Copies of this chain bind each other. A is one copy, B any other.
C-alpha cells in the first residue's frame, strides 16, 4: 500500500509522515507495535513494573468493547456481580492444577500497614475460587440453577517483560462464571459464549478467528476442556483472543458447590468460565494496522469520522462552524464524530495524526468546497481522496463505514488463509513456521511430542478447529507430523507461534 498522494501538498505531508510516523511493520514489527500504542495515545508505560496506563483514546475503545459485550451478556440472561480483588491464599491452593498454574505469578499481601496477616491474600489471578466459595453459600436446590454470572474488572499475573495490552501484570477483562445442573447444559453455555465471542470478533471488530478446542497441554489450569478463538496478526503469529472453559465438577468439588437434584440426590454443579481481556485491543492493532498506524474497525472506533476544517486564518472560524454543522448531521445518524479545531498545527499534521489513530473516515471542508457544495472524503484504507456532494457524503456515511468494515474483514481473512499451510512432513512444518505461517498438521495428541515441537520451533498448538468452524474444519485422518503415530483428533491441528 502506498501513501495517498493526491496533490502536491500531500507530497509534502509524506515527508511529515516520516517525521511523525512509525517504524514500518516490515522493518521491525515489535517497534511498530510499541510506537503505534504510544503515538496513537492508546497507552503509556507505568512506573509500576509490568503494568500500563490506558490513556483516553485506549480507554474509549475499551469502553466500547465493554458496552457491546455487556449488552449481549445481559440480553442472554447473564447477571453482573462484583467480587473482591483479594482472595485468601488458601482458596487458590484448593484446586491442585489451579495453584500449580498460577503460584509463581501471584502478587501476595502479607501485611496491612505494619501489621502482619495471619493468612496471606493474593491479588486475584482469576476468580473461580472465590466465586466457587460464594456459590457454595448460595446454592441449595436445582431450582436455584443456573447461575449465570460475570464481572468486569482487572486481574493480576506477574509478567517480567511488558507489552501494552498483550502482556501486563495487571490486565482488564470480564470473567464469566456459570453453574449448571447438568454437564450438557454447562457445555451448551461454553459453546454459546464461544460463538458470541466469534460473532463479536467477526461482526464488530472485523477480526477473523478460528473457533476450536485447545489440546490438553494448552488447557486452562483446572479445566476439563478449553475452547478458544485464535486470530492471526500481520506478522503471522497467533493471538488467543478469547477463551471459554468447561470446568466439569473440578471447582465445585474443591469449593463444595452442591445442589439437591429434582430426584432429591446431592450433586456437584457443573461449571464454566470464560473471558475476553484487554489483549483484544492488541489483536485489533496487529490485525488491521499498517505502516501509517492504526486502522480502527468502524463499529467499535471511538471516533468514526473526523472532520477537518481546512482554511486560512481569515476563514478558519467559518470552516469550523461548517464542520460542526456537518458533524451534527452525522451524529443524528448515530455516528461518532470529532471536529478537529486545533490551531497552530498544519493540516498535514492533522491528517497524519488521525491516520495514525486509525479513524476510519476523514472529511475535509475548505472554503472552495463550501462554495461548490462538496466535501473531500478519505477512507483510512483508501489510496485516494474523493470529492463528493455534501449531501451524498452524509447520506452515504453509514454504508461507507460498513464498507470499511467489510474491507478490513476480507483483507484479514485473505491474510489468515494465505498464511496457513497444510503440511505432512516435519521439515515442511519447521520451514512454514520459520516463515511466519500457521501450519495445519496431524498430531498424535501426546503432550511430550507437542513439547518437542515447541522446543524446536517455538510453535504451539493453537486449537483443533470445531466441526462448524468457519475455517479449517475438515475432518481428515493421518499420522503425526512429528512422531508418525496415528492422529488423535480426526482432523489437522493448527500450530503457530503466539503472543
A172 to B110, CA, bound (A): 23
Interface residues of A in 81-135 (CB under 8 A from B): 81-88, 91, 103-114, 121, 123, 130, 133-134
Whether B80 contacts A56 by the Cβ 8 Å rule is yes
| Residues on the B chain within 8 Å of A53, using CB | 81-84, 134
A51 to B134, CA, bound (A): 13
A51 to B111, CA, bound (A): 16
Closest chain B residue to A342, Cβ basis: B143
A80 partner, pick from B63, B113, B153, beta carbons under 8 A: B63
Closest chain B residue to A103, Cβ basis: B113
A158 CB–B CB distance under 8 Å: yes
| Residues on the B chain within 8 Å of A19, using CB | none
Report A253 CB to chain B, min CB distance, Å: 18
Interface residues of A in 9-56 (CB under 8 A from B): 44, 46-48, 51-56
| Residues on the B chain within 8 Å of A54, using CB | 81-82
A88 to B49, CA, bound (A): 9
A44 partner, pick from B51, B55, B110, B137, beta carbons under 8 A: B137
A457 CB–B CB distance under 8 Å: no
Beta-carbon contacts of A48-75 to B below 8 Å, as 1s and 0s?
A: 1001111110111011000000000000
Closest chain B residue to A278, Cβ basis: B82
Interface residues of A in 246-272 (CB under 8 A from B): none
A: number of interface residues (CB 8 Å):
54
Report A126 CB to chain B, min CB distance, Å: 15
Most buried by B among A44, A58, A59, A107: A107
Given A46-B83, A47-B133, A53-B83, A112 contacting B108 (CB threshold 8 A):
yes
A422 CB–B CB distance under 8 Å: no
| Residues on the B chain within 8 Å of A105, using CB | 112-113
A59 partner, pick from B55, B59, B80, beta carbons under 8 A: B80
A170 CB–B CB distance under 8 Å: yes
Chain A contact surface mostly = mixed
| Residues on the B chain within 8 Å of A130, using CB | 46-48
| Residues on the B chain within 8 Å of A109, using CB | 107-109, 123
A121 partner, pick from B48, B86, B88, B112, beta carbons under 8 A: B48
A446 CB–B CB distance under 8 Å: no
Whether B82 contacts A59 by the Cβ 8 Å rule is yes
Whether B104 contacts A113 by the Cβ 8 Å rule is yes
A476 to B158, CA, bound (A): 59
A51 partner, pick from B55, B60, B84, beta carbons under 8 A: B84
Report A149 CB to chain B, min CB distance, Å: 8
Closest chain B residue to A160, Cβ basis: B112
Whether A60 contacts B85 by the Cβ 8 Å rule is no
Whether B84 contacts A55 by the Cβ 8 Å rule is no
| Residues on the B chain within 8 Å of A172, using CB | 82
Interface residues of A in 163-187 (CB under 8 A from B): 170, 172
List the interface of chain A (C-beta within 8 A of B).
44, 46-48, 51-56, 58-60, 62-63, 79-88, 91, 103-114, 121, 123, 130, 133-134, 137-138, 143, 149, 153-154, 156, 158, 170, 172, 344
* 18 extra interface residue pairs, beta carbon distance < 8 Å, beyond A47-B134, A85-B170, A153-B154: A44-B137, A47-B133, A48-B130, A51-B86, A52-B84, A53-B134, A54-B81, A56-B79, A56-B81, A56-B149, A59-B82, A60-B79, A85-B85, A85-B123, A86-B170, A105-B113, A106-B112, A108-B109
